[in-house]
Amino acid sequence: MSTAFPKAAKVALGMPQLRSNLAHATGTIRGKRAKVVGELDDWERLRDTAAAIKADVQHRMPELAVAFERNATAAGATVHWARDGAEANRIAARITRDAGAEEVVKVKSMATQEIELNEHFAAEGLSAWETDLAELIVQLADDRPSHILVPAIHYNRTEIRDIFRGRMADAPKGLTDDPAALAEAARLHLRRRFLSAKVAVSGANFAVAETGSLVVVESEGNGRMCLTMPETLISIVGVEKLLPRYEDLEVFMQLLPRSSTGERMNPYTSVWTGATEGDGPKDVHIILLDNGRTEVLADEVGRQALSCIRCSACLNVCPVYERTGGHAYGHVYPGPIGAILAPQLEPGRHDDLPYASSLCGACYEVCPVKIDIPEVLVHLRQQGPHGAGEKAAMGAAEAVMARPALWRAALAAARFLSRPWRGRGFVRRLPWPASKWTVSRDMPVPPKESFRDWWKERER
């Protein structure tokens, strides 16, 4: 079993600045989300509807993907199919070269991070420039994103100023850490890139099968620049992003901004359908990406993860994420959604991630598409290397707890055996196999007297 997460989490826990940045940022977004969600009386109905639409997509994915291809092609786009990341990267690099370009500007996209498009382009002698402010910060710092929506959440503004000063060639002299000054420096830097780019690469939040349209939801306007200015547009879209009907957007456009940035409405929503003469890119390519998704679809419990709309609300409420940050997860998708998606997209790797959770259920409570993340976590744990042992232990616990006499005897035995630790409050290390439990937890010492005994005594 991989032990990457526990090791990386231990390192992250020793970084007070990181924890302080994370606590501040996630706390702020949590508060904003709660406020705008509380304004809607039909929030639960919206969640139910979104979950039903996504379940329908999962049942009809091949049919919807073919309908999307047909309608996007009829509107002038070229649709490509990619089995995996390598194939998607090859197609994107070929289109870029065919367009006579050596560099692309990028809209923030989780799918392109998942397939490591930037790294592939660099290996091919091409450059991919991030244009989302936080992605730009991460790229300049030669770092990795640590949050789905706020990739530079682990930096504070002074650290960002230092990155700009050190790595951005055209950063103004005497740049301060004033947020407006930092944003202006990035804006001027990016404007030059937008004006010279021939090719843009994007992902998409939604792909509407009925019309062949793609939708990108963003806050900064950099996406709109990428989607309209270059002559060639390449959109790499996971097949799970399909929606059957255009009107389904009505549901998701209420859920997504509120759950992600805590806004009633996001500033920029771009919708495009194929290519339109005299309006935006002339050459529009859409790469429909599988990269393990059809295998996930085959798992009746695990497939819920494909409903994710990448809002990141589950990250912001997760007590584990808030303390470790995103890098500890070792995957492009961190937090609760990463803990269920990463092990399924890359079977045999990341099998420690389903344990990166206290199963408190906060992620399920906030998820706008009602993914039962704790259910999938438990399901994945049972399939992992410790699954059989854990199942046997839970079966034994169930058998004891279901028989009052046996349960009382077990508690009496636990009280007797824990006598040497009485007074210390906690048992820090138990012998094998119980040591597997205490390696990362302290076990409270059973009290001298059970509640039932105490009650009996009181009733006398």
Q: Rounded distance, CA 114 to CA 20, Å?
A: 28
Using rule CB under 6 A, residue 368 touches ligand SF4: yes
Using rule CB under 6 A, residue 51 touches ligand SF4: no
Query: CB-side exposure of 173: number of CA atoms within 13 Å?
Result: 0
Using rule CB under 6 A, residue 29 touches ligand SF4: no
Q: Token pair for residue 183? A: 């944003």
Q: How far is the CB of 117 from ligand SF4 (least distance, A)?
A: 21
Q: Token pair for residue 304? A: 């819920």
Using rule CB under 6 A, residue 367 touches ligand SF4: yes
**Per CB under 6 A, which region of 28-36, 62-70, 277-285, 364-372 contacts ligand SF4?**
364-372
**Per CB under 6 A, which region of 11-19, 35-43, 59-67, 366-374 contacts ligand SF4?**
366-374
Using rule CB under 6 A, residue 286 touches ligand SF4: no
Q: How far is the CB of 295 from ligand SF4 (least distance, A)?
A: 19
The SS3 of residue 119 is helix
Q: Rounded distance, CA 417 to CA 413, Å?
A: 6
**Per CB under 6 A, which region of 61-69, 151-159, 212-220, 303-311 contacts ligand SF4?**
303-311
Nearer to ligand SF4, 190 or 256 (CB): 256
> What's 85's DSSP letter?
H
Q: Token pair for residue 225? A: 């620049």
Using rule CB under 6 A, residue 379 touches ligand SF4: no
Q: Rounded distance, CA 332 to CA 258, Å?
A: 23
**Per CB under 6 A, which region of 7-15, 214-222, 360-368, 374-382 contacts ligand SF4?**
360-368
Mask for 325-344, x = binds ligand SF4 (CB under 6 A) = ------------x-------
Binders of ligand SF4: how many residues, by CB under 6 A? 14
Using rule CB under 6 A, residue 201 touches ligand SF4: no
What is the CA angle 83-147-181, rounded to 5? Answer: 120
The set of residues, in sequence order, having a beta carbon less than 8 Å from that of 313 and lying 6+ positions away, is 33, 259, 260, 363, 366, 367, 368
Using rule CB under 6 A, residue 377 touches ligand SF4: no
- Cα dist from 230 to 202, 277, 386, whole Å: 12, 14, 51
> What's 102's DSSP letter?
S
Q: Which of 82, 204, 311, 380 binds ligand SF4 (CB under 6 A)?
A: 311
Q: How far is the CB of 336 from ligand SF4 (least distance, A)?
A: 6
Nearer to ligand SF4, 374 or 384 (CB): 374
Using rule CB under 6 A, residue 26 touches ligand SF4: no
Widest CA span in the chain: 91
Q: How far is the CB of 372 from ligand SF4 (least distance, A)?
A: 10
Q: Which of 201, 242, 308, 362 binds ligand SF4 (CB under 6 A)?
A: 308
Nearer to ligand SF4, 153 or 186 (CB): 153
**Within positions 117 to 156, which residues make up the interface with ligand SF4, using CB under 6 A?**
none
Q: Residues for the chain: how many in total?
A: 460
Q: Which of 25, 371, 376, 445 binds ligand SF4 (CB under 6 A)?
A: 371
- Cα dist from 108 to 132, 201, 226, 305, whole Å: 6, 9, 10, 21
Q: Distance between alpha carbon 360 and the CA centroid of its chain, in Å?
A: 18
The set of residues, in sequence order, having a beta carbon less than 8 Å from that of 331 and lying 6+ positions away, is 338, 342, 346, 350, 353
Q: Which of 314, 339, 345, 356 binds ligand SF4 (CB under 6 A)?
A: 314
Q: Is the dihedral of CA 327, 331, 332, 334 positive or negative?
A: negative
For ligand SF4, the binding residues (CB under 6 A) are 259, 308-314, 337, 366-369, 371
